[in-house]
A = this chain, B = another copy of it.
């Protein structure tokens, strides 16, 4: 466990009195707003824990593990969380959850709260733009961090996620095998490692089949059912007349399928659609969705075990653990028919 940072360390580093530092960290109006901000920034950089009283509790284990992800309502994260939860339940740890909605500030508040509560560890799917210091804040205060679903450059933490590039290439190859040549990619963003990897997997599969990659066939957008539904109009009016769509995830795919059905076309016959994640609802959607199982249960279970192992003193080799996805072929894909 790293050495505890003292108020005096912060004071010295900024050439201020410890009293000023203490007041600033308590948000006292006696310290000018600018100075307060500067002090807090420095405290954060050094990895200071605000509440010393609570910090004193940390000599013993609290049994509390924090989990913070983009949005627990997204069933993809939900399935990871369920697996983490059942693993932690077995070891009698308490599990507290939070959403960051890709707000770095919200995520930092959660980590700071966990430190104040004496949390034993944190499992996180880092918010877009997370600075390395925020993850170090946890580690340097003796609270191990494990990453799930998203990678962070420049940190050497155990990271558990699906092999997105490979997974999306499975879906793309399946469509190519059915004769599709004009294949759009719907939903998602380049701002996360997942996003970049999925797009790359799609591009790689097309290139390998000697199909020209047309950047206009990519319709980025929200990773939600609503996002997929709204993309349907754009997708159907593309001048290239794509016969198939590789979707970012199952939610986008189900939304897109509903949008296509509203336009009077039959998914699986007129247009083929693939999802990603194999959520529970993929198998019972109409039509049943062809998708890629991202093995969320494995991601959550392995991440929770890695954390428990670290708490027990043993160390897995750090770094990225890629979980191998699998194809699930159902009724939303079929032989290519020109539109």
Contacts and interface: CB of A to CB of B under 8 A. Distances in A.
Interface in A249-305: 255, 257-259, 261-262, 280-281, 284-286
B280 A226 contact: yes
Given A73-B72, A226-B284, A284-B258, A110 B94 contact: yes
A284 B85 contact: no
A166 interface: no
A280 B225 contact: yes
B72 A82 contact: no
Interface residues of A, number: 40
A251 B1 CA distance: 47
A98 interface: yes
A106 B98 CA distance: 18
B229 A255 contact: no
Interface in A84-116: 85, 89, 94-99, 106, 109-110, 113, 116
A339 interface: no
A284 B225 contact: yes
A195 interface: no
Given A94-B110, A97-B72, A113-B64, A261 B280 contact: no
Contacts of A81: 73
Number of copies: 2
A95 B98 contact: yes
Nearest to A331: B262
Q: Which of the listed residues A75, A96, A106 has the most CB atoms from chain B within 10 Å of its own CB? A: A96
A94 B99 CA distance: 11
A106 to B, nearest CB: 8
A78 interface: yes
A57 interface: yes
A169 B78 CA distance: 33
A94 B255 CA distance: 33
A284 B285 CA distance: 13
A327 interface: no
Nearest to A232: B284
Contact of A94 (B72, B109, B226, B281): B109
A209 interface: no
Contact of A73 (B64, B73, B226): B73
A257 B285 CA distance: 10
Interface string A211-231: 000000000000011100100
A7 interface: no
Interface in A52-98: 53-54, 57, 62, 64, 72-73, 75, 78, 81-82, 85, 89, 94-98
B94 A97 contact: no
A224 B281 CA distance: 10
25 contacts: A53-B57, A54-B57, A64-B113, A72-B72, A73-B75, A73-B81, A73-B82, A85-B99, A89-B106, A94-B109, A95-B98, A96-B96, A96-B97, A96-B98, A97-B97, A97-B98, A225-B281, A225-B284, A229-B284, A257-B286, A258-B284, A259-B284, A261-B286, A262-B286, A286-B286
